[in-house]
């Protein structure tokens, strides 16, 4: 998350002081990523050091006001114009956990998947209720419509992200069931299946590795040979 | 289309639907399939329950039995205090028409009737006057932004339009129990969302609902998500207070 660029965006319309920036950041993103005032001032100091903002005067109450510089503006424009980098996927604990569960003896992968699915779907239920509230606020013509819309976008991003995770978990489970079914009738996809699935999963992967181009998901260009996107 | 956040289901009330120790075995001998293995589920007024699970886990079986369209091998199905496994056919048919709205996985409109007639038919069978049933049907179509399709026949509509007509049919009148099997199957995500909002608002108005879906995004509209696997409930989520939501986890991100 880029606090730096977030603060620059909030300074673009005019001068503000630290705690004002903090509450503006939170109302725009619905307090999804809470900031403390300390973080705000640390970031402002760095921005000042880098010539992106200057401290200029104070309001009546004596709060030091910060103003965006021309250099800060061009940094902000560049930020909006540049896509967020996906070349180095962030380390994903869940992906690592499932990868480790394949082949760790005594781990019931389907139970690992289900406990995550529970958590993920639950989070989606909560986000969805918040979304219904945000939509109602927007349609009700609330006081700060811009913040409501920004918050709605953030919420929907959380919903799509958790959805992707839930779908991926479903996919993992189906794949394990298929692989264990393919491993033979001795390993039905019943309660005992996860171990069998896990084992056949790793052998199947090993078997298909040499000529796997078509069957396996595409590896991002430049990462072939690193065996998966999670290596840093 | 949106709805206010739903009311907490009132557990002090009698459940609209109770499934008790439900089993369903299809076939016999070597080809025997245990589609349901001892499922228990209560659905309360105002509550929308989503059922998720892999293909073949018994979701449709559960829904057809809950709606009285199939009989369990053992166990009880109680709809508003009536054990429908013991009700006679006539009482059962009346209950189905009056209290239960059902959206099938394949939408199943009557080809010889127009959209409005498809919706009005169950109401008329139940003694509502033809004029009244038609005006209800038109209102239900309007609610789904389908007013212009009232006089079209099913084969003159797209799959998604037929699906929405089927949903309008399930929701028309005062249904206490709405059962929907993949109601968003043929719909784009925007339309699917509006169907869910409609289902949600019916439940907020006091109906009990069960929604079978593969889509976590749609299941997330429910108060409770029940996970079926191999004919048994393996897990379920409960709802929490949305207010306390983002504070705890946000710090970790
Ligand atoms: N009439 C039938 N005769 C025999 N077996 C049946 C019958 N109906 C369903 N089954 C079996 O019962 C099990 C549960 O089926 P059901 O249709 O309830 O699954 P589902 O969870 O709805 O799946 P899907 O997500 O694919 O719709 C499956 O193994 C299915 O093959
Ligand atoms: Mg089904």
Same domain flag for A45 and A118: no
Q: Is residue A10 part of a domain?
A: yes
| Subunit contact B221:A128, Cβ cutoff 8 A | yes
Q: What percent of chain A lies above the pLDDT cut of 70?
A: 76
Average pLDDT over residues A57-69: 91
Q: What is the CATH number of the domain that holds B90?
A: 3.40.50.300
Q: In tens digits, what is the pLDDT along chain B, a chain of 253 residues?
A: 444 444 444 556 899 999 999 999 998 888 899 999 999 999 999 999 999 999 999 999 999 999 888 999 999 999 988 898 888 888 888 887 778 988 877 767 899 999 999 999 888 887 888 999 999 999 989 988 889 999 999 999 988 888 889 888 888 877 899 999 998 877 888 888 888 888 898 899 899 999 999 999 999 999 999 999 999 999 999 876 555 455 444 333 3
Q: Is residue B246 part of a domain?
A: yes
| Subunit contact B237:A122, Cβ cutoff 8 A | yes
**Which among A214, A213, A215 is positioned nearest to A224, based on CA atoms?**
A213
Instruction: Phi first, then psi: give them for residue B32, nearest 5 degrees.
Output: -60, 130
Q: Which of B24, B25, B35 to mutate to test the pocket of ligand 1 (most atoms within 8 A of CB)?
A: B35
Q: Is residue B8 part of a domain?
A: no
Same domain flag for A105 and A161: yes
Q: Rounded CA gap, B223 and B150, in Å?
A: 33
Provide the number of structural domains found in chain A.
2
Q: Which atom of ligand 1 is nearest to the CA of B228?
A: 21
Same domain flag for A101 and A188: yes
Range of the domain at B108: 17-252
Same domain flag for A202 and A110: yes
Same domain flag for A9 and A74: yes
Kindly report, residue by residue over A109-119, the tens digit of the pLDDT.
Answer: 888 899 999 99
| Cα-to-centroid distance, A91 and ligand 1 (Å) | 39
Kindly report, residue by residue over A134-192, the tens digit of the pLDDT.
Answer: 888 888 776 567 788 888 899 999 999 999 999 999 999 888 888 887 776 544 444 44
User: What residues have a C-beta under 5 A from ligand 2, the ion?
Assistant: B 60
Provide the number of structural domains found in chain B.
1
Same domain flag for A70 and A143: no
Same domain flag for A106 and A212: yes
What pLDDT score does B220 carry? 94
Adjacent-strand bridge partners of B208: B177
Q: What is the CATH number of the domain that holds A52?
A: 1.10.10.10
Q: Which residues of B touch A155 (CB under 8 A)?
A: none
Q: Is residue B12 part of a domain?
A: no
Q: Is residue B6 part of a domain?
A: no
User: Is there a contact between B180 and A81 (Cβ–Cβ < 8 Å)?
Assistant: no
Nearest CA to ligand 1 atom 4: B26
Q: Is residue A226 part of a domain?
A: no
| Subunit contact A114:B227, Cβ cutoff 8 A | yes
Residue B200: CB within 6 Å of ligand 1? no
Q: Is residue A48 part of a domain?
A: yes
Nearest beta carbon to residue B220 from set A34, A121, A189? A121
> Mean pLDDT of all residues in chain A?
77
Same domain flag for A111 and A212: yes
What pLDDT score does B30 carry? 87
Q: Is residue B184 part of a domain?
A: yes
**DSSP secondary structure code for residue A85 in this structure:** P
Same domain flag for A77 and A110: no
| Subunit contact A159:B217, Cβ cutoff 8 A | yes
* Chain B residue whose CA is closest to A138: B2
Q: Is residue B107 part of a domain?
A: yes
| Cα-to-centroid distance, B55 and ligand 1 (Å) | 8
Both tokens of residue B130? Answer: 């033809």
This complex has an ipTM of 0.75
Interface test with A, best of B200, B216, B227 (most A CBs within 10 A): B216
Same domain flag for A31 and A58: yes
Interface size, chain A vs chain B, as Cβ–Cβ contacts under 8 Å: 91
Q: Is residue B198 part of a domain?
A: yes
Range of the domain at A210: 93-221
Among A81, A112, A142, which residue terminates a domain? Answer: A81
| Subunit contact A34:B225, Cβ cutoff 8 A | no
Q: Is residue A76 part of a domain?
A: yes
**Which among B136, B135, B195 is positioned nearest to B160, based on CA atoms?**
B195
| Cα-to-centroid distance, B64 and ligand 1 (Å) | 11
Q: Is residue A87 part of a domain?
A: no
Report the 10 Å Cβ neighbour count for B149: 21
Q: Is residue B9 part of a domain?
A: no
Q: Which residues of B touch A121 (CB under 8 A)?
A: 52, 216, 219-220, 225, 237
Q: Rounded CA gap, A187 and A12, in Å?
A: 62
Q: Is residue A232 part of a domain?
A: no
Same domain flag for A22 and A114: no
Same domain flag for A97 and A200: yes
| Cα-to-centroid distance, A111 and ligand 1 (Å) | 23
- Among all bound ligands, the one having the nearest atom to the CA of B57 is 1
State the angle between helix axes of A18-29 and A37-49 in degrees (0 to 180), rounded to the nearest 10: 110
């Amino acid at each position: 998350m880029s606090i730096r660029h977030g603060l620059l965006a909030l300074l673009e319309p005019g001068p503000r002081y630290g705690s004002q920036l903090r509450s503006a950041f939170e109302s725009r993103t619905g307090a999804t990523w809470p900031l403390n005032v300390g973080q705000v001032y640390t970031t402002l100091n760095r921005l000042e050091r880098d010539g992106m903002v200057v401290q200029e005067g104070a309001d009546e109450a004596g709060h030091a006001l910060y103003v965006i510089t021309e250099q800060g503006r061009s940094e902000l424009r560049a930020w909006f114009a540049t896509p967020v980098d996906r070349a180095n996927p962030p380390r994903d604990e869940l992906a690592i956990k499932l990868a480790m569960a394949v082949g760790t003896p005594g781990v019931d992968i389907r139970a690992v998947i289900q406990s995550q699915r529970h958590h993920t779907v639950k989070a989606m239920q909560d986000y969805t209720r918040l979304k219904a509230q945000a939509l109602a606020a927007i349609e009700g013509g609330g006081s700060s419509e811009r913040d409501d819309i920004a918050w709605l976008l953030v919420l929907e991003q959380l919903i799509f992200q958790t959805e992707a995770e839930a779908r991926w978990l479903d996919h993992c489970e189906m794949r394990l069931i298929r692989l264990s079914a393919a491993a033979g009738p001795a390993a039905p996809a019943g309660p005992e299946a996860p171990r069998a699935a896990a084992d056949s999963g790793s052998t199947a992967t090993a078997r298909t590795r040499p000529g796997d181009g078509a069957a396996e998901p595409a590896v991002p260009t430049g990462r072939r040979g690193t065996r998966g996107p999670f290596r840093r | 289309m949106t709805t206010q956040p739903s009311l907490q289901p009132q557990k002090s009330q009698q459940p609209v639907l109770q499934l008790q120790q439900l089993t369903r075995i299809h076939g016999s001998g070597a080809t025997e399939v245990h589609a349901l293995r001892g499922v228990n589920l209560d659905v309360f007024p105002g509550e929308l329950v989503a059922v998720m699970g892999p293909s073949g886990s018994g979701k449709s079986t559960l829904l057809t039995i809950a709606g009285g369209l199939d009989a369990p091998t053992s166990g009880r199905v109680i709809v508003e205090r009536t054990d429908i496994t013991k009700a006679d056919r006539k009482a059962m048919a009346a209950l189905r028409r009056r209290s239960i709205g059902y959206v099938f996985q394949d939408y199943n409109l009557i080809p010889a009737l127009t959209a409005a007639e498809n919706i009005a038919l169950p109401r008329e069978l139940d003694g509502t006057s033809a004029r009244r049933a038609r005006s209800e049907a038109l209102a239900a179509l309007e609610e789904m932004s389908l007013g212009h399709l009232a006089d079209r026949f099913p084969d003159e509509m797209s799959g998604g339009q037929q699906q929405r007509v089927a949903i309008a049919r399930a929701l028309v009148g005062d249904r206490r129990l709405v059962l929907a099997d993949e109601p968003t199957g043929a719909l784009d995500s925007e339309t699917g969302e509006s169907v869910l909002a409609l289902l949600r608002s019916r439940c907020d108005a006091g109906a009990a609902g069960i929604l079978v879906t593969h889509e976590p995004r749609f299941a997330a509209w429910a108060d409770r998500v029940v996970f079926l696997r191999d004919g048994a409930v393996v897990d379920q989520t409960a709802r929490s207070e949305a207010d306390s939501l983002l504070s705890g986890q946000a710090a970790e991100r």
